[in-house]
Amino acid sequence: MANLKYSRQRELVLHTVKNAMHHPNADWVYRQVCLQDPKISLATVYRNLNLLSDLGEIKKVAVNGHSDCFDRNTHNHYHMYCSGCGMVYDIELDYLADIDHMISSRCGFDITSHDLSFVGLCDKCKGKN
């Protein structure tokens, strides 16, 4: 964020995501930031989350059919979405960097990265059924 003018609101959004112990969505971040800055708008939170994601400060996690979540861990890794409770979890799995080359050589695409998400039930939701 070296080339950007300092923004207290952006700093609050970043701090909130970096200190979350889960993968929050924009509404959750907004509610938390409002506790410190009641005048902030939801649009400002969305704009800053997307900017911080574009800058690589946080990672946007697309959840098919649901709100995007945001991750403080910006390293390449995979996620699981629990269809029971709606939580997003990191998966402890080595990043499959060779798959980019495999697909590129088979399809002719210039692959720059990939994102892989799994859908299922977490242990808590599995136990409820």
Burial class (CB in 10 A: 0-12, 13-18, 19+), 127: exposed
pLDDT at site 129: 65
pLDDT tens digit string along 2-59? 578 889 999 999 999 999 999 999 999 999 999 999 999 999 999 999 999 999 999 9
The one-letter code for the residue type at 24 is P
Buried b / exposed e across 55-89, counting CB within 10 Å, b at 16+? eebbbebebeeeebbbbbeeeebbbbbbeeeeebe
Half-sphere exposure of 117 (CA within 13 A, CB side): 15
* pTM, rounded to two decimals: 0.86
CA 86 to chain centre: 14
pLDDT tens digit string along 64-86? 888 999 999 999 999 999 999 99
pLDDT at site 80: 94
**Alpha-carbon distances, residue 61 vs 46, 53, 58, 69 (angstroms):** 14, 10, 10, 5
Which DSSP letter does residue 113 get? -
pLDDT tens digit string along 88-114? 999 988 988 899 999 999 998 998 888
pLDDT at site 2: 57
